[in-house]
């Protein structure tokens, strides 16, 4: 029997032999591969579809309006405006190039969102390439599927801001550094440095994963000199904007520090570990859970072929010294965005496949629940629609704080450009942010008198937040001028002057 088994012909029995074991393993791998490819197709349909739908259907929000406003300014003015605001220039310049054929606000403004959609979806081939490069195709497939389904990645991948592009450039830096470890070449190091520097020039938060990637690459033996060269190139590229970055006013990010750091940290932990948005209350429980899930994945993937855990941890630790400079570095639903591709790779390589499966399933559910909420009209969109008929009839709008730039943009899309007066004058200087603590009481009084007097004898609608110093100053002048409050809806009030007392201002 032994002799017959050992000398069986090719088509003979192989049960229990080495070839039988290898055949079963190959069959199992083929089946797993087909299942994973189907999962990726499903994730592409769901995640890609969600991004496209949100890009087309979701109302614009204030930061996107600022992107569009800044991108339509001459390049010199664009760069000068950033000196009084926050953020690096690369995404604004990219948006400007896309908007060159469309000089006036309109439906074509969606091209800036489509830039983010494209950048977000380009993570997929890059993650697949990283997996194949390291001989871990499964990790690339699962990581790409998870990234597509993360609700935060879907949301940021459909808005006209720089997060998706910065994340893509950071991930491309990772891919080039992995290539550098396999085949040390100066041109590969140069590409890694240029991509890393470009990521930081797209969004400051990209500094964290890029620094983590470079430090992790330095810890390896392969090509350390070229890694130093890549880091030097990235530093030189980013340093070109450093004088402006250091001079940008801290007040431009003061809004982000309105809530306690501990609360924001719990929200950011949830964002990072689970890839989902979360409110402050639920984050008390979701934050520790997310940290446990991510910690479990890292502990269970210590022999991972794609070394994503080390740069992720090093980059996250970089938040600590950054907080010394600016406590606004921890931004709920924002800080985690540039780390999500690395998180997806870490979860994909967890020893227990249930971790990735549970993360993907939770992402699908939360994404499905979030999309209807995300496409609801914003207060500013509803307000602009209500004001438009009166503005079309000749009324002007005086809008306090950041209601001004958003209403100005929305009315311009209705063919009513230049009908909004900003109050106070600080808003015109830096339309991307406003600090209520800035203007002195005397200046608020003088400017409120001037702006109300400037529309005397005509019809005007005044929009302001009643709880702010600027809003109170404007309200006092409204009362003195015997204007009429015609609407009050939570964050804003609308007062009318010069209309007949028949409800015409409503």
Q: How many other CB atoms are found less than 10 A from the CB of residue 163? A: 27
Question: Looking at the structure, do residues 356 and 403 belong to the same domain, yes or no?
Answer: no
Segment 384-390 shows an average pLDDT of 93
**Is residue 191 in a domain?**
yes
**Is residue 15 in a domain?**
no
- pLDDT value of position 501: 58
Q: What are the residues facing 397 on neighbouring strands?
A: 420, 461
Task: Give the H or E element holding residue 497.
Answer: strand 492-497
Domain that holds residue 155: 21-374
**Is residue 10 in a domain?**
no
Segment 233-253 shows an average pLDDT of 94
Q: Is the pLDDT of residue 204 over 50?
A: yes
- How does pLDDT run across 445-495, given as a tens digit for each residue? 999 999 888 776 678 999 999 889 999 999 998 888 888 888 887 788 999
Question: Looking at the structure, do residues 285 and 328 belong to the same domain, yes or no?
Answer: yes
Q: What are the residues facing 489 on neighbouring strands?
A: 492
Q: Is the pLDDT of residue 167 over 90?
A: yes
Q: Is the pLDDT of residue 222 over 70?
A: yes
% of the chain exceeding 70 in pLDDT: 92
Domain boundary among 350, 374, 398: 374
Question: Looking at the structure, do residues 362 and 403 belong to the same domain, yes or no?
Answer: no
Q: Is the pLDDT of residue 506 over 50?
A: no
CB 89 within 8 A of CB 82: yes
The sign of the dihedral angle between the CA atoms of 77, 80, 85, 91 is positive
Question: Looking at the structure, do residues 393 and 292 belong to the same domain, yes or no?
Answer: no
**Is residue 290 in a domain?**
yes
Question: Looking at the structure, do residues 143 and 122 belong to the same domain, yes or no?
Answer: yes
Q: Is the pLDDT of residue 53 over 80?
A: yes
The CATH number covering residue 388 comes to 3.40.47
Selected residue with higher pLDDT from 122 and 9: 122
Cis check: omega of the bond before 407, within 30 degrees of 0: no
- pLDDT value of position 302: 67
CA distance 277 to 205: 18
Question: Which of 87-101, 280-294, 456-470 is least confident?
Answer: 456-470
Burial class (CB in 10 A: 0-12, 13-18, 19+), 367: buried
Question: Looking at the structure, do residues 368 and 477 belong to the same domain, yes or no?
Answer: no
- pLDDT value of position 437: 86
Per-residue burial over 90-104, b if 16 or more Cβ lie within 10 Å, else e, is: bbbbbbbebbeebee
- pLDDT value of position 17: 58
- pLDDT value of position 389: 93
Sequence-ordered list of residues with C-beta below 8 angstroms from that of 208, at least 6 positions apart, any chain: 315, 316, 318, 319, 322, 338, 339
Length of the chain: 506
Domain boundary among 374, 393, 412: 374
pLDDT confidence band for 500 (50 / 70 / 90):
low
**Is residue 437 in a domain?**
yes
Q: Is the pLDDT of residue 18 over 80?
A: no
% of the chain exceeding 90 in pLDDT: 75
CA distance 17 to 149: 42
Domain boundary among 324, 340, 374: 374
CB 349 within 8 A of CB 379: no
Q: Is the pLDDT of residue 361 over 50?
A: yes
**Is residue 5 in a domain?**
no
Q: Is the pLDDT of residue 74 over 90?
A: yes
Question: Looking at the structure, do residues 473 and 487 belong to the same domain, yes or no?
Answer: yes
Segment 378-401 shows an average pLDDT of 92
Question: Looking at the structure, do residues 415 and 335 belong to the same domain, yes or no?
Answer: no
- How does pLDDT run across 297-309, given as a tens digit for each residue? 998 776 789 999 9
CB 491 within 8 A of CB 465: yes
Q: What mean pLDDT, rounded, does the chain reach?
A: 90
Question: Looking at the structure, do residues 353 and 401 belong to the same domain, yes or no?
Answer: no
- How does pLDDT run across 316-342, given as a tens digit for each residue? 999 999 888 888 899 999 999 999 999
Q: Is the pLDDT of residue 504 over 70?
A: no
Q: For the chain, what is the domain count? A: 2
CB 88 within 8 A of CB 74: no
Burial class (CB in 10 A: 0-12, 13-18, 19+), 435: middle
Q: Is the pLDDT of residue 32 over 80?
A: no
Question: Looking at the structure, do residues 348 and 455 belong to the same domain, yes or no?
Answer: no
**Is residue 352 in a domain?**
yes
- pLDDT value of position 28: 58
Question: Looking at the structure, do residues 326 and 389 belong to the same domain, yes or no?
Answer: no
pLDDT confidence band for 27 (50 / 70 / 90):
low
**Is residue 455 in a domain?**
yes
Question: Looking at the structure, do residues 398 and 358 belong to the same domain, yes or no?
Answer: no
Phi (first) and psi of residue 399, to 5 degrees: -120, 130
């Amino acid at each position: 029997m032994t002799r017959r088994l050992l000398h069986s012909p090719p088509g003979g029995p192989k049960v229990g032999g080495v070839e039988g074991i290898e055949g079963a393993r190959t069959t199992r791998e083929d089946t797993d591969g087909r299942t994973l490819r189907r999962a990726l197709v499903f994730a592409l349909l769901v995640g890609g579809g969600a991004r496209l739908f949100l890009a087309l259907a979701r109302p614009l929000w204030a930061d996107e309006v600022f992107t569009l406003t800044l991108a339509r300014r001459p390049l010199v003015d664009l760069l000068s405006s950033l000196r009084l605001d926050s953020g690096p220039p690369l995404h604004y310049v990219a948006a400007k190039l896309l908007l060159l054929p469309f000089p006036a606000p309109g439906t074509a403004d969606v091209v800036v969102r489509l830039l983010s959609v494209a950048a977000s979806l380009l993570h997929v081939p890059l993650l697949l390439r990283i997996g194949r490069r390291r001989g871990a195709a499964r990790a690339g497939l699962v990581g790409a599927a998870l990234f597509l389904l993360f609700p935060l990645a879907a949301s940021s991948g459909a808005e006209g801001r720089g997060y998706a592009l910065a994340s893509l450039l950071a991930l491309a830096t990772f891919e080039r550094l992995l290539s550098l470890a396999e085949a040390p070449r100066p041109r590969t190091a140069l590409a890694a440095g240029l991509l890393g520097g470009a990521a930081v020039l797209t969004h400051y938060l990209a500094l964290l994963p890029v620094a983590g990637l470079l430090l992790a690459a330095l810890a390896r033996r392969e090509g350390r000199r070229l890694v130093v060269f890549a880091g030097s190139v990235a530093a030189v590229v980013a340093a070109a904007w450093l004088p402006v970055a250091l001079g940008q006013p801290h007040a431009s990010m003061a809004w982000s520090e309105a809530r306690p750091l501990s609360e924001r940290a719990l929200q950011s932990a949830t964002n990072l570990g689970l890839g989902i948005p979360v409110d402050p209350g639920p984050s008390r429980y979701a934050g520790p859970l997310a940290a446990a899930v991510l910690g479990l994945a890292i502990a269970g993937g210590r022999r991972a072929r794609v070394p994503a855990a080390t740069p992720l941890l090093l980059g996250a630790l970089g938040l600590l010294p950054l907080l010394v400079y600016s406590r606004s570095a921890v931004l709920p639903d924002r800080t985690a965005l540039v780390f999500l591709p690395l998180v997806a790779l870490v979860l994909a390589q967890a020893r227990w496949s249930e971790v990735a499966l549970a993360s993907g399933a939770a992402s699908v559910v939360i994404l499905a629940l979030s999309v209807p909420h995300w496409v609801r009209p914003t207060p500013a969109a509803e307000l602009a629609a209500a004001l438009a008929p009166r503005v079309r009839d000749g009324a002007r709008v005086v809008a306090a704080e950041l209601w001004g730039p958003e209403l100005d943009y929305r009315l311009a899309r209705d063919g009513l450009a230049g009908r909004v007066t900003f109050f106070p004058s600080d808003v015109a200087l830096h339309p991307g942010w406003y600090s209520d603590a800035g203007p002195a009481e005397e200046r608020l009084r003088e400017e409120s008198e001037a702006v109300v007097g400037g529309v005397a004898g005509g019809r005007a609608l005044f929009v302001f937040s009643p709880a702010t110093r600027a809003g109170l100053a404007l309200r006092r002048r409204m009362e003195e001028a015997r204007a009429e409050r015609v609407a009050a809806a939570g964050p804003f009030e609308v007062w009318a002057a010069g209309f007949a007392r028949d409800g015409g201002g409503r």
